[in-house]
Amino acid sequence: MRKSMKNRIVSIILIGLLTGGLLACGTEEASVADGSRNETPNEALAGEITFWHSFTQGSRMEAVERAVTQFEAKYPNVQVHVETMTWSDFKSRWKAGVATGDLPDISTACNMYDVEEMVHAGILQLTDEVIDGIGRELFSDNVLSELTQNGGVYGIPYYSHAYVMWFRKDLLSQAGLSVPETWEELYEAAKTLTDRENGIYGCPVSMGTKDFVSTINLHMYVRSGGGLLAKCEDR
């Protein structure tokens, strides 16, 4: 466990699917970040852990504070330093940390694309041991494969967003259309339903310069055809 200097290598990353996740930084030395195995007496584990997270909402922040309190009670010789930052600040913070070595032991991450960037920046450690300690069977194989590079898993998924498409039965019925089941059918239905004079659009999608909704839609479209939106070659 880290004693004084901050390390340049992240030990554990917990990652949410599409949004939200947790990363950890550290060395190859033993870490107490995983409480699922306790082969060493709690009092024998000593040191400090720095934890970055972006759970700024009240209930989420309170849950983090409770978890830290419980952890420190279980490991009385371990001190956890918590730093809270917004998702927008996270990227600039970790990119600066790559150059300065000012990285945490554990941290959240915004999405799986951030994890891939960090893997190629060389600042993450494998999380397979932690995943196996929790129970690999509890995780989706597809999700773990998304977080796998060079045969190892570099993140721990902990929640997923469910994206759904709403449709107007009345508008489809008026146009004599059924619910689209393919991209081609969606395209034709969107064209048919679009009525700009009356402010009706066949397939409106929320987009903005500060979100990635359009990227998610493009990602789903490309993946449904068996392709990849972006591919980073392994070093």
Domain assignment of residue 6, yes or no:
no
Instruction: Say what the pLDDT of residue 20 is.
Output: 36
List all residues 6 or more positions away from 80 whose beta carbon is below 8 Å from its beta carbon.
48, 49, 50, 51, 68, 71, 72
Same domain for 196 and 88? Answer: no
Domain assignment of residue 230, yes or no:
no
Same domain for 152 and 181? Answer: no
pLDDT band at 25 (very low <50, low <70, confident <90, very high): low
Residue at which a domain ends, from 142, 160, 178: 160
Residue at which a domain ends, from 160, 188, 209: 160
Which has the closest alpha carbon to 18: 108, 88, 110, 156? 110
Look up the pTM and report it.
0.63
**Could you give the 3-state DSSP secondary structure of residue 222?**
helix
Structural domain including 113 reads 12-160
**Could you give the 3-state DSSP secondary structure of residue 219?**
helix
Domain count, the chain: 2
The region of weakest confidence among 49-63, 134-148, 218-232 is: 218-232
pLDDT digits (tens, 9 = 90+) for 87-121: 878 888 888 888 888 889 888 887 777 788 888 88
Same domain for 152 and 173? Answer: no
Paired tokens of 168 = 């107007």
For the chain, the straight-line distance linking the first and the last C-alpha, in angstroms and rounded, comes to 28
Paired tokens of 158 = 């902990």
Mean pLDDT within 15-23: 43
pLDDT digits (tens, 9 = 90+) for 1-12: 443 334 445 555
pLDDT digits (tens, 9 = 90+) for 175-202: 999 999 998 999 999 999 999 999 999 9
Domain assignment of residue 179, yes or no:
yes
8 Å CB contact between 167 and 204: no
Please, what is the Cα angle at 214 between 208 and 217, to 5 degrees? 160
Same domain for 19 and 57? Answer: yes
From CA 60, how far away is CA 62, in angstroms rounded?
Answer: 5
Above 80 in pLDDT, residue 140?
A: yes
From CA 208, how far away is CA 187, in angstroms rounded?
Answer: 22
Please, what is the Cα angle at 157 between 153 and 160, to 5 degrees? 140
Above 50 in pLDDT, residue 21?
A: no
Backbone phi, psi, residue 116, to 5°: -60, -40
